[in-house]
């Protein structure tokens, strides 16, 4: 009779050991996961909390973003409330019947997309076209961030912290002010507010980012004097943040994302319909240029480029400075690009151009003359191998643009290569447009790729910290290679 009791005792003993071990393991995992959600004053929290227990399944893991919704309204909403004081930077778009005037107020409708084009006609085809002011990228981005599916109210869970400041709109009010103290006051105020917040101390701002619809150079005025811009990006606190803008500078914490075009689809089918549409266009113009000369800029190649275009029967030139020509009207621009094989994209007032994205949207192969117009800028959105979607004619100096050089280069390109490049251009379209913030696409748009890019950048900083290295090294360094021309010219 003893053996059955002993066998039962040993079975119960082993069963108890297994149950205890299981409970201990569960409690250990629970304690580990909850400890990672505690509040720490150093960077260790954001480094360690990204080690996740295996049993947790969270589609937003590593993608959570915390918005500084408590940011004082003087840095964003108050600017919109006083939109009469904000210049559009361009003439009114009367051609589309939108009474825009010379202030931003009419452009703020439709979540910053601007007035909807009521009669798109044959050129634009659907109703997802708007008169969008590119300076409002920071507003559009904010609206889209509000609907980002991985937002969190707990900054300790966040992989990145978004600062919804409208720095470009703010700066535009004082860009021409002679008093630098007035021009820089808001920038200093913003940085002082951020650096006093508890969220700042986790990574000393290196997990923070903000967006601007102006070029980064507008925020890079050195202290030794200049007649343009603010000194925001030279402030010590600001140097620890990443800025996403339509044009990056030679500093590594200034990152470029696409200019907003006038096409803001509300569903994926509209994107596919547009792609199918541009595939079918007949393109009678070998190349085209929409723009105006820069007579006051000695290093501008536009004058010679325009001369070459006008001298060719294969080129279409639209002079944006001519009476009755409104190059801010999407119909004016897209009508020409849709009929062109190649679209010339020389630098303008700065290296980049919104027109480059308009041409890509129209299925027109862009022709670049400087690497900083696209190749070294939009690394998250354009292929690294730029010959897949564009033509590069390097022009370091004005005299390098020889007579007939553009047309001769384009005529040497085979039909097979032309078709391959156009196919790639059309394939890129979904990644280059900002979808309507009031809707959500299944495919990734320019916003999604920008968010993914900044999250990866911040995660790389965490990796550096985990390795015991200094995260400041390389974070905001100057890198002038962005503006260097390749040594070997391309063959066509």
**What order do you get walking across the sheet with 65-67 strand by strand?**
65-67, 160-162, 208-212, 242-245, 254-256
Residues 239 and 93 in one domain: yes
Report if residue 487 sits inside a domain.
Answer: no
Residues 424 and 447 in one domain: no
Domain enclosing residue 295, as ranges: 279-432
Q: Do the Cβ atoms of 160 and 455 come closer than 8 Å? A: yes
Residues 321 and 403 in one domain: yes
Chunked into runs of 10 residues, the chain (492 residues) has average pLDDT values of: 42 50 46 35 43 65 98 98 88 45 89 89 84 98 98 97 98 85 95 98 97 96 79 96 98 98 97 96 98 80 94 96 88 96 95 97 98 97 97 93 96 98 98 97 97 98 96 94 80 64
Residues 202 and 302 in one domain: no
Q: How many structural domains compose the chain?
A: 2
The domain boundary residue, chosen from 411, 432, 453: 432
CA dist., res. 492 & res. 490, Å (int) = 7
Residues 254 and 299 in one domain: no
Is 394 buried (19+), middle (13-18) or exposed (0-12) by CB count in 10 A? middle
Report if residue 27 sits inside a domain.
Answer: no
CA dist., res. 274 & res. 254, Å (int) = 32
Residues 114 and 217 in one domain: yes
Report if residue 41 sits inside a domain.
Answer: no
Residues 315 and 455 in one domain: no
Report if residue 112 sits inside a domain.
Answer: yes
Rounded to 5°, the CA angle 97-280-353 comes to 55
- Full 3-state SS string of the chain: CHHHHHHHHHHHHHHHHHHHHHHHHHHHHHHHHHHCCCCCCCCHHHHHCCCCCCCCCCCCCCCCEEECCCCCHHHCHHHHHCHHHCCCCCCCCHHHCCCCCCCCHHHHCCCCCCCECCCCHHHHCCCCEECCCHHHHHHHHHHHHHCCCCECCCCCCCCEEECCCCHHHHHHCCCCCCCHHHHHHHHHHHHHHHHCCCCHHHHCCCCEEEEECCCHHHHCCCCCCCCCCCCHHHCCCHHHCEEEECCCCCECCEEECCCCCCECCCCHHHHHHHHHHHHCCCCCEEEEEEECCCCCCCCCCHHHHHHHHHCCCCEEEEECCCCCCCCCCHHHHHHHHCCEEEEEECCCCCCCCHHHHHHHHCCCEEEECCHHHCCCCCCCCCCCCHHHCCEECCCCCHHHCCCCHHHHHHHCCCHHHHHHHHHHHHHHHHHHCCCCCCCCCCCCCHHHHHHHHHHHHHHHHHHHHHCCCCCCCCCCCECHHHHCCCCCCCCC
Residues 419 and 310 in one domain: yes
Residues 284 and 415 in one domain: yes
Name every residue whose Cβ is closer than 8 Å to that of residue 455 and which is 6 or more positions away in sequence: 62, 63, 65, 159, 160
**CATH no. for residue 423?**
3.40.50.2000
Q: Which of 288, 341, 358 is nearest to 132 (CA)?
A: 358
Instruction: Tally the C-alpha atoms within 13 A of residue 191's C-alpha that lie toward its C-beta.
Output: 17
CA dist., res. 157 & res. 199, Å (int) = 11
pLDDT for position 27: 44
The domain boundary residue, chosen from 394, 411, 432: 432
Report if residue 247 sits inside a domain.
Answer: yes
The domain boundary residue, chosen from 432, 450, 465: 432
pLDDT for position 35: 35
Q: Do the Cβ atoms of 232 and 200 come closer than 8 Å? A: no
Residues 249 and 147 in one domain: yes
For residue 465, what are its two tokens?
Answer: 């910290």
Report if residue 26 sits inside a domain.
Answer: no
pLDDT for position 47: 47
For residue 55, what are its two tokens?
Answer: 């049993």
Report if residue 344 sits inside a domain.
Answer: yes
Residues 254 and 330 in one domain: no
pLDDT for position 49: 45
Residues 159 and 252 in one domain: yes
The pLDDT tens digits for 221-270 are 987 666 788 999 999 999 999 999 999 999 999 999 999 999 999 999 99
Report if residue 45 sits inside a domain.
Answer: no
pTM, two decimal places: 0.86
Label residues 299-327 b or e (16+ Cβ within 10 Å = b). ebbbebbbebbeebebbbbbebeeeeebb
């Amino acid at each position: 009779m003893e053996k059955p009791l002993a066998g039962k005792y040993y079975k119960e003993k082993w069963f108890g050991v297994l149950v205890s071990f299981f409970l201990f393991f569960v409690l250990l995992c629970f304690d580990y996961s909850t400890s990672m959600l505690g509040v720490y004053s150093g960077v260790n929290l954001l480094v360690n909390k990204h080690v996740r227990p295996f049993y947790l399944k969270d589609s937003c893991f590593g993608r959570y973003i915390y918005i500084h919704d408590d940011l004082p309204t003087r840095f964003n909403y108050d600017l919109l409330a006083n939109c009469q004081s904000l210049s559009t930077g361009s003439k009114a778009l009367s051609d589309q019947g939108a009474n825009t005037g010379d202030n931003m107020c009419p452009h703020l409708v439709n979540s910053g997309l601007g007035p909807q084009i009521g009669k798109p006609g044959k050129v634009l085809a659907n109703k997802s076209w708007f008169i969008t002011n590119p300076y409002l990228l920071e507003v559009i981005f904010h609206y889209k961030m509000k609907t980002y599916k991985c937002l969190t109210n707990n900054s300790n869970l966040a992989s990145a912290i978004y600062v919804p400041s409208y720095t470009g709109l703010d700066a535009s009010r004082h860009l021409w002010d002679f008093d630098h103290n007035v021009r820089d006051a808001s920038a200093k105020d913003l940085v002082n507010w951020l650096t006093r917040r508890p969220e700042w101390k986790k990574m000393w701002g290196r997990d923070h980012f903000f967006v601007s619809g102006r070029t980064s150079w507008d925020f890079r005025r050195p202290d030794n004097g200049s007649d343009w811009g603010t000194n925001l990006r030279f402030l010590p606190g600001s140097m620890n943040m990443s800025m996403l803008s339509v044009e990056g500078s030679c500093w590594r914490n200034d990152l470029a994302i696409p200019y907003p075009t006038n096409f803001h689809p509300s569903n994926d089918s509209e994107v596919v319909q547009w792609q199918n549409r541009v595939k079918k266009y007949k393109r009678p113009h070998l190349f085209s240029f929409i723009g105006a000369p820069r007579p006051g800029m000695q290093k501008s190649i536009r004058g010679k480029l325009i001369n070459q275009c006008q001298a060719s029967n294969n080129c279409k030139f639209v002079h944006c400075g001519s009476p009755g020509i409104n190059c801010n009207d999407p119909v004016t621009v897209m009508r020409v690009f849709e009929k062109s094989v190649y679209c010339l994209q020389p630098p303008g007032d700065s290296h980049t151009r919104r027109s480059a994205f308009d041409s890509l949207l129209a299925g027109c192969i862009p022709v670049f003359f400087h690497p900083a117009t696209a190749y070294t800028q939009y690394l998250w959105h354009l292929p690294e191998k730029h010959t897949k979607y564009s033509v590069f004619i390097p022009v370091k100096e004005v005299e390098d643009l020889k007579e007939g050089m553009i047309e001769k280069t384009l005529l040497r390109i085979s039909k097979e290569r032309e078709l391959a490049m156009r196919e790639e251009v059309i394939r890129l379209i979904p990644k280059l447009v900002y979808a309507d913030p009031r809707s959500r696409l299944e495919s990734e748009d320019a916003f999604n790729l920008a968010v993914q890019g900044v999250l990866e950048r911040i995660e790389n900083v965490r990796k550096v910290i985990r390795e015991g290295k200094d995260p400041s090294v390389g974070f905001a360094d100057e890198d002038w290679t962005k503006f260097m021309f390749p040594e070997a010219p391309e063959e066509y």
